[in-house]
Amino acid sequence: MMYSLYDFLPSGNGYKVRLLLTQRGIPFELIEVDILKGETRTPEFLAKNPNGRIPILEIEAGVYLSESNAILIYLSQGTPYLPDDRLEYAQVMQWLFFEQYSHEPFIATSRFWRMHGMTEQKQQALEEKQAPGYAALSVMEQRLATHPFLVSDRYTIADIALYAYTHVADEGGFSLSNFPATQAWIERIQAQPYHIPITQSRFDLPPG
Amino acid sequence: MMYSLYDFLPSGNGYKVRLLLTQRGIPFELIEVDILKGETRTPEFLAKNPNGRIPILEIEAGVYLSESNAILIYLSQGTPYLPDDRLEYAQVMQWLFFEQYSHEPFIATSRFWRMHGMTEQKQQALEEKQAPGYAALSVMEQRLATHPFLVSDRYTIADIALYAYTHVADEGGFSLSNFPATQAWIERIQAQPYHIPITQSRFDLPPG
């Protein structure tokens, strides 16, 4: 069965999965869900993911995986995108949880608010996200100042997960001007084979 | 080398690791770090974890793992606490990311504020955590109404990760009275061999 990806194209979390599927050359059906219109809160959607969020990936008929980073792990086991080495494997996991806890709630949420409607009420909350967002970028910069990638000196799902919202941090009101190693890393990610930009649904798939 | 766990005993995130180490019968040195006194922000601590958070586990001399759920994965690979089956493995990952993104920031943060000093400034933020915290509990309840554990009908690190703050949700201002399946699950977790309560550093280790 071909995978079906339920996704909202501006979402960095959805983009992570779209990017890995594309780079692995795995065909998938894209089902767009407009989160701005409440389409993740319908009974039909909640039956697929009770937590009411995209992306979700239908991996067998009626079997849905949620949580973007869990889907990345599922799709990368046994591939070069996820190291076998026990320590490196754990370091990938470390970055994935860092992304969801210390990066996404500040940088991605700021971007979402700015893209999809700021209110005066949110202004203070937006400002309060600046310091922790920059702290997360500093943690990345510290690693990337001495290594080409986040783990193991090669491109892994840790890079995919952190790239998703870091490369559009400006849309969340975060400047990368003081993060030169992160900027160089972004270019390194964009130079990977079969890279696609965010909001693109898929690359022309590689043969075979 | 014996593991060293840098931990703050009231922390549910630290407790997850303490509980799994204890249940697996793995000895460890406990190094208490008082996060209320800024001890995770010293240069010495930041050299171990640039993100400045406990728990961290020193797994080899000078090699530190951070992110509680990444540490759980590291410590459970190849054991009954983490299923081998590809789908069940992914479902464990799904719950671990759910915990860090949709549960911990509401229930654990509310508990932390209430335990370690509320301010008037935080009152509104505390109230805003009620709805998403209860939403997370509802997602768990829905699963547990028809299954004894979160994944695979047996006790895994998904249960350990979600138990850590769910069983003390009342300290965060969340009542479990409308979540009977979750209450029964809590009792099921507490009945597991070598269970230890939160704030306890370790059980008498099993022989061998």
Domain boundary assignment for chain B: 3-76, 86-190
User: Inter-chain contact A86–B77, Cβ cutoff 8 Å?
Assistant: yes
Rounded Cα distance, A75 and A192, in Å: 18
Q: What does pTM read for this prediction? A: 0.96
Across A21-25, A54-58, B204-208, least confident range: B204-208
* Whether residue B75 has pLDDT greater than 80: yes
Any chain A CB within 8 A of the CB of B182?
no
What average pLDDT score do residues A88-115 get? 97
Any chain A CB within 8 A of the CB of B157?
no
List B residues 102-141 in contact with A (Cβ-Cβ < 8 A). Answer: 102, 104-105, 135-136, 138-139
User: Inter-chain contact B97–A97, Cβ cutoff 8 Å?
Assistant: yes
pLDDT, chain A, mean? 95
Among B98, B135, B143, select the one facing A67 at the smallest CB separation. Answer: B98
pLDDT, chain B, mean? 95
What average pLDDT score do residues B1-16 get? 95
Rounded Cα distance, B198 and B9, in Å: 7
Q: How high is the pLDDT of residue A208?
A: 43
Residues in CB range of A86: below 8 A, 6 or more apart: B74, B77
Q: Write out the two tokens for B115.
A: 């335990």
Q: Write out the two tokens for A124.
A: 């203070």
Rounded Cα distance, A29 and A58, in Å: 10
What average pLDDT score do residues A110-127 get? 90
Please give the share of chain A, as a percent, with pLDDT higher than 90: 90
DSSP string over chain B: --EEEEE-TT-HHHHHHHHHHHHHT--EEEEE--GGGTTTSSHHHHHH-TT--S-EEEEETTEEEESHHHHHHHHHTTSTTS--SHHHHHHHHHHHHHIIIIIHHHHHHHHHHHHH---HHHHHHHHHTHHHHHHHHHHHHHHHTT-SSSSTTS--HHHHHHHHHHTTGGGGT---TT-HHHHHHHHHHHTSTT---TT---PPPPP-
A73-91 residue pLDDT tens: 999 999 999 999 999 999 9
* Whether residue A204 has pLDDT greater than 60: no
What average pLDDT score do residues A134-144 get? 98
Q: How many CB pairs under 8 A join A and B?
A: 93
A116 compared with B51, residue with greater pLDDT: B51
Any chain A CB within 8 A of the CB of B181?
no
Superfamily (CATH H level) for B3-76? Glutaredoxin (3.40.30.10)
**Banded pLDDT at A203 (limits 50, 70, 90):** low
* Whether residue A134 has pLDDT greater than 50: yes
**Banded pLDDT at A122 (limits 50, 70, 90):** confident
Q: Which of A51, A76, A87, A121 is the mutation pick for testing B, counting most B CBs within 10 A?
A: A51
**Which residue in chain B has the smallest CA separation from A124?**
B125
Residues of B in Cβ contact (< 8 Å) with A96 = 70, 97
Helix B68-76 / helix B86-98 crossing angle, nearest 10 deg? 160
Q: How high is the pLDDT of residue A200?
A: 81
Any chain B CB within 8 A of the CB of A94?
yes
Q: How high is the pLDDT of residue B208?
A: 42
Any chain B CB within 8 A of the CB of A36?
no
Rounded Cα distance, B190 and A63, in Å: 30
Given the DSSP bridges, would you call strands B28-32 and B3-7 parallel, antiparallel or unpaired? parallel
Please give the share of chain B, as a percent, with pLDDT higher than 90: 90
CATH class of A86-190: mainly alpha
Instruction: Say how far residue B59 (Cα) sits from the centre of its chain.
Output: 19
Q: How high is the pLDDT of residue A119?
A: 85
Q: How high is the pLDDT of residue A207?
A: 45
Residues of B in Cβ contact (< 8 Å) with A87 = 59-60, 63
What average pLDDT score do residues A124-140 get? 96
**Banded pLDDT at B200 (limits 50, 70, 90):** confident
**Which residue in chain A has the smallest CA separation from B52?**
A139
Any chain A CB within 8 A of the CB of B145?
no
Any chain A CB within 8 A of the CB of B73?
yes
Q: How high is the pLDDT of residue B205?
A: 52
- Please compute Rg for chain B using Cα positions: 17
The alpha carbon of residue A205 is apart from the nearest alpha carbon of chain B, in Å, by 25
Any chain A CB within 8 A of the CB of B36?
no
A169-200 residue pLDDT tens: 999 999 999 999 999 999 999 999 999 999 88
DSSP string over B131-181: HHHHHHHHHHHHHHTT-SSSSTTS--HHHHHHHHHHTTGGGGT---TT-HH
The alpha carbon of residue A142 is apart from the nearest alpha carbon of chain B, in Å, by 8
* Whether residue A4 has pLDDT greater than 50: yes
Q: In Å, how far are A4, A10, A58, A152, B25 from A33, measured between CA atoms?
A: 12, 11, 14, 35, 46
Helix B130-144 / helix B157-166 crossing angle, nearest 10 deg? 140
